[in-house]
Amino acid sequence: MQLPRQPLRGRDLQTLVENQTTYGLRDAELHLFETHTVAAGVKLDFDHPVLATMLRGKKVMHLRQRPGFEFVPGESIMLPAEELMTIDFPEATMEDPTKCLALTIDDERIRRVVALMNERRPKTDNGEWTFTDYNFHFLNNVAIHQIIQRLIFLCAEDHESKDIFVDMMLQELLIRILETESREMKLITAQTNAGHDRLAYVLTFIRNHLSAKLSVRELSKRAYMSETQFYQAFKNEMGCSPVEFINQERLKLAANLLQNSPASIGEISARCGFNSVSYFTRIFKRHFRQSPSSYRHKRLG
């Protein structure tokens, strides 16, 4: 299926973006934007659900449900069709342009992936997989980041099997987003359900003890499971291993502290439970595409 040839209706953007590259795919379109000048109040919307991802620089997003939040590399937001974005570009320059990606996805393709998940991998809590119809803002994990980079590469590559490769990557991306959304919903309700749900109790314990040394052995004991049972149950429900989840939560805390605390990078590293500053810096840069000090400077600047 080909998407409509003019999915972009925010005409103001055309005068402010120096470069826009669009790749037409079977069930999607991938748009790469480079903004080369400071701008404010740029309006943009799409006819289909869209994944927006920051690749470089910073912009401020104004959405119906979330006015005025900073959007930086390492973050994505999934938006429903026809959701109006009003965007400010406070730092874009010719020498250091702001770069972002917008991937529009056909609704029917999303429905097929959701149906596949409910058929092949039903949730253990008797719930059903559903795709977001609201503004879902999240931190990219390593897998999602790698898929996005791979999609960019595949779109630019003139390969005979390009459509096949993209089809497989698009399916994996949608599944990863479904898992991420499900995980976030679990976190929202974890504290409320901690008294009667073992996994919810463990999630709450992890988030309250991020500075401590946490191991699968200790967490499995708190869940009254064997290590093998706990690991499998956790991965089935959260879509990631316990260690991956702990690191993601520590990075969220670190990002918050870098913006709102005067503590040094070393102090923040220790408060977030990382064994060394060098390891903290490496894993932070892998997720946010910039060092902790650069992240703090750009957020506070």
Q: Do 152 and 43 reside in the same domain of the chain?
A: yes
Task: Give the pLDDT confidence score for residue 7 in this predicted structure.
Answer: 45
- Determine, yes or no, domain membership for 3: no
Q: Could you list the pLDDT tens digit for every one of the 301 residues in the chain?
A: 344 444 444 444 444 455 889 999 989 999 999 999 999 999 999 999 999 999 999 999 999 888 899 898 889 999 999 999 999 999 999 888 999 999 999 999 999 999 999 999 887 666 788 888 889 998 888 889 999 999 999 999 988 999 999 999 999 999 999 988 988 888 888 888 888 888 889 999 999 999 999 999 999 999 999 999 999 988 888 878 999 999 989 999 999 999 888 999 999 999 999 989 999 999 998 888 789 998 888 776 6
Structure tokens at 229: 């049972």
The total domain count for the chain is 2
Length of the chain: 301
- Determine, yes or no, domain membership for 1: no
The greatest distance separating any two alpha carbons of the chain, rounded to the nearest whole angstrom, comes to 60
Q: Do 27 and 86 reside in the same domain of the chain?
A: yes
Cβ–Cβ < 8 Å for 37, 13: no
- Determine, yes or no, domain membership for 6: no
* 62 three-state secondary structure: strand
Q: At what angle do helices 277-288 and 292-300 cross, to 10 degrees?
A: 60
Per-residue CA distances from 260 to 212, 247, 268 (Å): 21, 20, 11
Given 125, 153, 185, the domain boundary residue is: 185
Q: Do 172 and 32 reside in the same domain of the chain?
A: yes
Given 156, 185, 214, the domain boundary residue is: 185
Per-residue CA distances from 39 to 17, 60, 208, 263, 282 (Å): 9, 10, 40, 33, 32
Task: Give the pLDDT confidence score for residue 126 in this predicted structure.
Answer: 66
Cβ–Cβ < 8 Å for 139, 75: yes
Predicted TM-score (pTM) of the model is: 0.76
Q: Which residue's structure tokens are 């917008």?
A: 102
Q: Do 149 and 242 reside in the same domain of the chain?
A: no
- Determine, yes or no, domain membership for 278: yes
3-55 pLDDT, tens digit each: 444 444 444 444 445 588 999 998 999 999 999 999 999 999 999 999 999 99
Q: Do 81 and 136 reside in the same domain of the chain?
A: yes
Alpha-carbon distance of 219 to 134, in angstroms, equals 33
What is the four-CA torsion angle of 139, 145, 148, 154, rounded to 10 degrees?
180
Per-residue CA distances from 262 to 210, 213, 256, 291 (Å): 19, 24, 11, 17
Q: Do 150 and 171 reside in the same domain of the chain?
A: yes
Q: Do 157 and 212 reside in the same domain of the chain?
A: no
Residue 148 CB partners (closer than 8 Å, separation 6+): 53, 76, 101, 103, 140, 173
Per-residue CA distances from 133 to 33, 43, 81, 82, 136 (Å): 24, 20, 9, 11, 8
Instruction: Tell me which residue range forms the domain holding 209.
Output: 194-300
- Provide the 8-state DSSP code for 41: E
Q: Do 152 and 263 reside in the same domain of the chain?
A: no
Q: Do 214 and 154 reside in the same domain of the chain?
A: no
E strand or H helix at 23, and its extent?
strand 17-24
Alpha-carbon distance of 260 to 253, in angstroms, equals 10
- Provide the 8-state DSSP code for 46: -
Cβ–Cβ < 8 Å for 186, 238: yes
Return the closest-CA partner of residue 40 out of 8, 76, 86: 86
- CA 14 distance to own-chain centroid: 26
